[in-house]
Amino acid sequence: MRKGYPFLILAGVLFGTIVFGGKILSTFGLSVYELAILPFIVSILVLLPIIILKKEYRIKKDQLPLWLLYGFVEAVSVFCEFTPFILGLPVSILVLLLYTQPLWCILLVTLFLKEKITAKDIVASVIVILGVVILVNPFGARVNNVPGILVALVGGIALAGWLVIGSYASKKNINPITIRFAESIFQIGFLIILFPIVHIIFKNPSVTSFSFSYGWKVILAIVIYGLFSQTLSHLFYFKGAKDAPTMHASIIALLEPVVAVLLSAIFLHEIISLNIIIGGLLILAANVLVIKK
């Protein structure tokens, strides 16, 4: 086993708290923009003292084009991760479209990173996507929500872009703290720049509203979510992606829906059906396939 895989597994587990935690926070009335910005502010505040004290972790001028691209891709990814749910798209369809990312990763890795895609990578990608399809069981859901479907599909492409760019930055020996801090800064910047356009297109308070008055319980929930789901998960991913093929990192990241389902069953009392068990086992089998030498 490569030394990066344990970090990727930890990242995949923590990624599973992103959608689950987003569901919990949405019950407090947080909009998509609040979900996309507030946890990233937590990341910035947590990492800022380290950035100040450690000169080598600071953003360098020659890296600016990379962070601009990464910030934009991250802004699109986060926005598209929560908006379809607000627009009424069934969660099963949303999850399925988001987690088509291995297919897009194959394309992006081949075109831009020039990494070799092996037959094992393709087989593992097919297995993991089949596992997601069986796990979310989207066939009984109504799919007449065209805006929600398009946003979720863009989210899947953006998620693949986030994984690939993060892997690229890690392999360039950029510290995970620097990567996470930079993507947070530029992601928030792009969300602010795009706010007028998003407001005009959606005209939905559940998407663009922003409050500056939160109770202490909501603030505590945002801090915990930002620390574990949106900071530690990313740091683990960047650490692991340095020593693993990008396709392997993208497949291991799909531990996320398995963990999300388990958390929903434990804390939200959702039923674990046979399709969830089978789909989860297939996703785990794909992980074993790419991890095992």
> Is it the case that residue 142 has pLDDT exceeding 60?
no
Q: Which of the two residues, 187 and 257, has the higher pLDDT score?
A: 187
pLDDT (mean) for 141-165: 85
Residue 83 above 90 pLDDT? no
Range of the domain at 187: 5-291
pLDDT above 90: residue 116: no
- Cα 11 to Cα 49: distance, rounded to the nearest angstrom: 23
Residue 115 backbone class (left: φ over 0; alpha: ψ -120 to 50; beta: rest): beta
CA dist 230 and 252 (Å) reads 17
Q: What is the pLDDT of residues 190-210, one digit of tens each?
A: 999 999 988 888 788 888 888
> What is the pLDDT, as a whole number, of residue 143?
58
More confident residue, 268 or 65: 65
The b-or-e profile of 23-41 (16+ CB within 10 A means b, else e) is bbbbeeebbbbbbbbbbbe
Q: Domain tally for the chain? A: 1
Query: What local confidence, expressed as pLDDT, does residue 3 receive?
Result: 85
What does the pLDDT read at residue 104?
93
- Report the mean per-residue pLDDT for the chain: 89
Query: What pLDDT was estimated at residue 113?
Result: 87
CA distance 117 to 245: 9
Tell me, letter by letter, the H, E, C secondary structure of the chain: CCCCHHHHHHHHHHHHHHHHHHHHHHCCCCCHHHHHHHHHHHHHHHHHHHHHHCHHHCCCHHHHHHHHHHHHHHHHHHHHHHHHHHCCCCHHHHHHHHCCHHHHHHHHHHHHHCCCCCHHHHHHHHHHHHHHHHHHCHHHCCCCCHHHHHHHHHHHHHHHHHHHHHHHHHHCCCCHHHHHHHHHHHHHHHHHHHHHHHHHHHCCHHHHCCCCCCCHHHHHHHHHHHHHHHHHHHHHHHHHHCCCCHHHHHHHHHHHHHHHHHHHHHHCCCCCCHHHHHHHHHHHHHHHHHHCC
238 — pLDDT class (breaks 50, 70, 90): very high
Distances (CA, A) of 53 to 32, 184, 222, 272: 33, 19, 26, 47
Q: Which two tokens stand for residue 67?
A: 């962070």
Which range of 164-178, 212-226, 257-271 scores highest in mean pLDDT? It is: 164-178
**Cα–Cα dist 133/140, whole Å:** 12
Q: Is the pLDDT of residue 62 over 70?
A: yes
Amino acid identity, position 87: L
Confidence of residue 105 (pLDDT cuts 50, 70, 90): very high
pLDDT tens profile 250-259: 999 989 888 8
